[in-house]
Structure 1
Amino acid sequence: MALIQGIPGEFEPQPWGEAILRSRELLLLRIARRPPDHEVRLPGLATTPLHVVEDRTGKALTWRQDGDDLVVRLPESAEPPLVRVALQGKLRIVPPDTVTANADGVWDLTPAGPTAHLVARRSAEVAVRFLGPIDPDSQHHIRLAGRTYAVSGCQLQRATIGPFALPDSRVLRLLVPTGVRRMLVAPVGTVLASIHPSAPGELTILVTNFGRTRARGEVVLPLPPGWSASDHRWTFDRLAPGRSIGWVTRLTGPPGAEEVQARLDAGRRSASSPYVIHL
């Protein structure tokens, strides 16, 4: 059985061919290129198959579910086969850009298009912080988990939006406002430290209060061996709910990439999001 309940949608082209929805509960796999191991993998199928057969002969094929992927063993034939997949319910998929939360229960999303998808392993009430050059006079409708907020671009720039009640194990679509380059999603009550590039050799350390009361604390940026920073420790007090505070630091170090994570001490709900820096 699939681990995650997906959303209605369509499959992208696959290395072996394409998946075509013939009806709400019937999927055809058109094989254009037979893989060397004679197995095709269809990623992100959240609906459990009923049976899988070769379309021309009706012969049952060997198949298995690997997480949310369907893996089918192709029959021996001279021509590429057409595979018929009958489903136990209407087609639901897990989009390839679906993101799960990190160990602190935080989603850190860099959208590649007008939508993003996230899934919660357990139910949670969350808020969203949008980051990027957003037109302050623009108007937006933020929709997630069946709830909608009408907000201005100015509100998106200044504060978190929410709360949204996320059910567990269900893929949810979040529309990305124009100009947004990064989105932070965290459970309500969390105080979150995140790292953002601001210029070559510079980082901005951002602390966002996803809670309902003012927050105070200290944030430290541990550095890899051989690295130094113009500053690496900051304190804050009376950070209002929904608001953020940030500091800029300059880094020097050997060429390469290193993962860093700000260490935050802001009480029981302190959380942080890792970031890979490049010099």
Structure 2
Amino acid sequence: MALIQGIPGEFGPQPWGEAILRNGELLLLRITRRPPNHEVRLPGLATTPRHVVEDGTGRALTWRHDGDDLLVRLPESTERAVVRVSLEGKLRIVPPDTVTANADGVWDLTPAGTTAHLVARRSADVAVRVFGEATGEIELANQSLPIHHLGRTIGPFQVPAGLVVPLTLPPGVRRVLVAPVGTVLASIHACGSAGELVVRVTNFGRTVAQGEVELALPTGICRWTFEELEPGGSTGWTAAINGRPGVYVLEARLDAGRRSASSPYSIHL
């Protein structure tokens, strides 16, 4: 059984050929480029297969799930093959841009366009914080709310557990943080000046927050404190960073109560 519930849709071109939907509950896998290991992978199939057989002969084929991907073992042959996958219900897929929340229930996204897809580990009311130059509305899980102020969170949105939900953003959004209501989240951001970064704390809760932030850098540790951070608000500090060339993964340690969370950030020096 697939791990998460997908959304209605169809598959795009695959490295081995194409997946064609027939009658809503039948997939035809046309194999035009047979993989060397004779195994094809169909990524993001959220509907459980009922039967997987070779077209024409009706011979049952070995298949398994790898997460939300379907893997089918092809018969030993040099000829092109067609595989019939009968589904237990209507086709539902997990889009390639789907992101699952981390252990704290947080998503940290750098959207490639204006649409992304999210999966929550647990049902929750969440809020959204966007960064960039954007106006308009945020739509999440078929709920829409306007962006009144870029410096504040937007929400709440109700997100179900284990179900792929679309997130639609206006143009101009560079980064998105989504967190359960009640979370106080530390995040790290690029700065306009070379050799600097910004540490931000955002209060996704409904009450005033206070606490301490610590960030370990290649050259030492920075510490800050904050008080009276109002619900929906953010505060931040600039830190200089230098060191040997390389890629560094940084994560601020936040102490702001039991709902404290942080999001890692990679930087190249």
TM-score in terms of structure 1 length: 0.91
Check if 1:265 corresponds to 2:255.
yes
CA distance in 2, matches of 1:69, 1:273: 27
Q: Which residue pairs with 1:139 in the alignment? A: 136
Q: CA deviation at 1:163?
A: 1.0
Match of 1:203 in 2: 197
1:16 equivalent in alignment to 2:16: yes
Give the conservation status (yes or no) of the 8 Å contact 2:217–2:241: no
1:82 maps to what in 2? 82
Tell me the alpha carbon deviations over residues 64-100 of structure 1, each in whole angstroms, 9 at most, x when there is no partner: 1222111111123342111111111111111121111
**Residues of 2 paired with 1:22 and 1:161: CA distance?**
41
Q: Please give the secondary structure, in 2, of the residue aligned with 1:77.
A: coil
- Gap change, CA 1:77 and 1:156, over 3 Å in 2: farther
Deviation at 1:228, TM superposition (A): 4.5
- Helix, strand or coil at the partner of 1:255: coil
Contact 2:52 2:85 in 1 (8 A): yes
The letter for the 1-side match of 2:203 is: N
Give the equivalent residue in structure 2 for 1:115: 115
Does residue 244 (structure 1) correspond to residue 228 (structure 2)? The answer is no
- Aligned AA (1:17): G
Distance 1:70 1:191 in 2: 38
Shift, 1:223, TM fit: 2.0
Unpaired stretches in structure 2, ≥5 consecutive residues: none
1:242 is displaced (CA, Å) by: 0.7
Q: Does 1:190 align with 2:180?
A: no
| Alpha carbons 1:129, 1:156 under 8 Å: kept | no
Q: Which runs of 4+ in 1 moved over 6 A?
A: none
Structure-2 residue corresponding to 1:102:
102
Q: Which residue of 2 aligns with 1:171?
A: 164
Residues matched between the structures, number: 268
Q: Which amino acid aligns with 1:148?
A: S
Distance (whole Å) between structure 2 residues aligned to residue 45 and residue 215 of structure 1? 42
Deviation readout 1:186-219 (Å, 9 max, x if unpaired): 1100110000111321111011000001111111
Measured at CA, do residues 35 and 186 of structure 1 come closer, stay the same or move farther in structure 2, by a change above 3 Å?
A: same
CA drift at 1:18: 1.4
Taking only the aligned residue pairs, the percentage that are identical comes to: 70
User: C-alpha deviations, 1:27-57, integer Å up to 9, x for none?
Assistant: 1111111111111011110000111122222
Residue identity matched to 1:185: V
Residues 208-237 of structure 1: per-residue CA shift (max 9 Å, x gap): 00000111111111124xx247xx222211
Cα displacement (A) at 1:156: 4.6
Distance 1:44 1:156, change over 3 A: farther
More displaced 10-residue stretch of structure 1: 249-258 or 77-86: 77-86
Q: CA deviation at 1:145?
A: 2.3
Partner residue in 2 for 1:35 = 35
Q: Please report the TM-score for the alignment, with normalisation by the length of structure 2.
A: 0.95
